[in-house]
């Protein structure tokens, strides 16, 4: 590519003015997204609970993968806890400066059952984790902080195929993710007067820690479950997504130059799952 063309493309998508919080930052999709964001010039602060994959380890991995330790930060926080989120915002600001993008990527499913065998305690846990920790609490506190500081920030939520079409047996996840889509639209409207954008990415089926054993029979990932087979047969592209296929949409939504007039949308990255028909 000639220099003028690559300079032009870079000017649309460079993220050197962005300081990005990514919740669930030690997760599978967040790992790929954060690497791309650092490579595109952003500073990135991973927020995670640190239960399975400690945040400082995830930050070290990110620094190694990108070669930019100066752009990689981390805070241990449960995004479902308001006081912890407030503390995390202050720690993030101290570490990398005022954040101007929030990617709500904490979440994930646990369990699967017929409706009449629902474990209501687990239902509440998954619903709260994906809705309150996955969107409501970080969004509430970051938006208040931005409005107070007059920062025209941008929020990216993680919706799902289950925001549009219920997935069988994962009742709380379905309920939470359809609400994440609804609140993406509602908060986009609420925050627009402050110049704050809210959008979402709706990944089709990507293999993450939270869904690996729904899609494959065991950790060796050699044999699909019936559910994994059914998903692939209903995905027009005939395969799961590769995590890297989320990068373009993530960078696009983070760049004000590329997507500054876009708010309240959820972009499916799904190999056609939502347009499959008979």
Just list the catalytic residues: 173
177 in Cβ contact with 162 (< 8 Å): yes
Nearer CB in complex with ligand NAD: 210/225: 210
> What is the per-residue binding string for ligand NAD in 132-161, x denoting contact by CB under 6 A?
-xx-----------------------x-x-
The burial class, CB within 10 Å (0-12 / 13-18 / 19+), for 209 is: middle
Minimum gap (Å) between residue 276 Cβ and ligand NAD: 16
> What is the per-residue binding string for ligand NAD in 178-207, x denoting contact by CB under 6 A?
-------------------------x-xx-
Pick from 24, 99, 268, 271 the residue near ligand NAD by CB under 6 A: 24
DSSP labels, 169-199? T-HHHHHHHHHHHHHHHHHHHHHGGGT-EEE
Instruction: Show contacts with ligand NAD in window 222-241 (CB under 6 A).
Output: none
Q: Does 49 bind ligand NAD (CB under 6 A)?
A: yes
For residue 181, list its beta bridge partners. none
User: What is the rounded CA–CA span in Å between residue 73 and residue 88?
Assistant: 12
How many residues bind ligand NAD, per CB under 6 A? 31
Pick from 19, 20, 22, 27 the residue near ligand NAD by CB under 6 A: 27
Say which DSSP state 69 is in.
G
Minimum gap (Å) between residue 156 Cβ and ligand NAD: 11
Minimum gap (Å) between residue 209 Cβ and ligand NAD: 4
Nearer CB in complex with ligand NAD: 52/150: 52
Going by C-alpha positions, the residue among 45, 162, 170 that lies closest to residue 119 is: 170
- The sign of the CA dihedral 160, 164, 170, 175 is positive
- The sign of the CA dihedral 172, 175, 180, 186 is negative
DSSP labels, 105-141? ----------GGG--HHHHHHHHHIIIIIIIIHHHHH
User: What is the rounded CA–CA span in Å between residue 31 and residue 54?
Assistant: 13
Nearer CB in complex with ligand NAD: 208/228: 208
Minimum gap (Å) between residue 211 Cβ and ligand NAD: 5
User: What is the rounded CA–CA span in Å between residue 232 and residue 223?
Assistant: 13
Going by C-alpha positions, the residue among 276, 158, 168 that lies closest to residue 226 is: 168
Minimum gap (Å) between residue 65 Cβ and ligand NAD: 16
Pick from 28, 46, 89, 101 the residue near ligand NAD by CB under 6 A: 28
75: enclosing H helix or E strand: strand 72-76
Minimum gap (Å) between residue 166 Cβ and ligand NAD: 14
Instruction: Show contacts with ligand NAD in window 62-121 (CB under 6 A).
Output: 78-80, 105-108
Residues found near ligand NAD in the complex (CB under 6 A): 23-24, 26-30, 48-49, 51-53, 78-80, 105-108, 129, 133-134, 158, 160, 203, 205-206, 208-211
């Amino acid at each position: 590519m000639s220099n003028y063309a690559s300079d032009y493309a870079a000017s649309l998508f460079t993220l050197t003015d962005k300081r990005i919080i990514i919740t669930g930052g030690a997760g599978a999709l967040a790992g790929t997204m954060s690497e791309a964001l650092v490579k595109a010039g952003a500073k990135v602060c991973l927020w995670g609970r640190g239960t399975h994959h400690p945040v400082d380890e995830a930050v070290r991995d990110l620094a190694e993968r990108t070669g930019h330790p100066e752009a990689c930060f981390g805070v241990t926080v449960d995004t479902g806890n308001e006081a912890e989120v407030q503390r995390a915002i202050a720690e993030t600001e101290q570490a990398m400066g005022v954040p101007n993008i929030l990617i709500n990527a904490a979440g994930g499913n646990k369990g699967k059952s017929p409706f009449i065998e629902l474990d209501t305690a687990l239902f509440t846990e998954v619903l709260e984790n994906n809705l309150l920790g996955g969107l409501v609490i970080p969004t509430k506190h970051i938006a208040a902080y931005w409005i107070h500081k007059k920062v025209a920030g941008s929020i990216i939520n993680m919706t799902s195929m289950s925001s549009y079409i219920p997935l069988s047996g994962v009742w709380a996840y379905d309920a939470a993710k359809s609400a994440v889509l609804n609140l993406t639209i509602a908060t986009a409207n609420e925050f627009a007067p402050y110049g704050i954008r809210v959008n979402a990415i709706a990944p089709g089926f990507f293999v993450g820690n939270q869904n690996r054993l729904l899609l494959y029979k065991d950790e060796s990932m050699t044999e699909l479950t019936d559910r994994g087979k059914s998903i692939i047969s209903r995905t027009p592209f005939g395969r799961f997504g590769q995590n890297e296929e989320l990068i373009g949409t993530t960078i696009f939504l983070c760049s004000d130059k590329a997507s500054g007039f876009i708010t309240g949308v959820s972009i499916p990255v799904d190999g056609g799952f939502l347009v499959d028909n008979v």
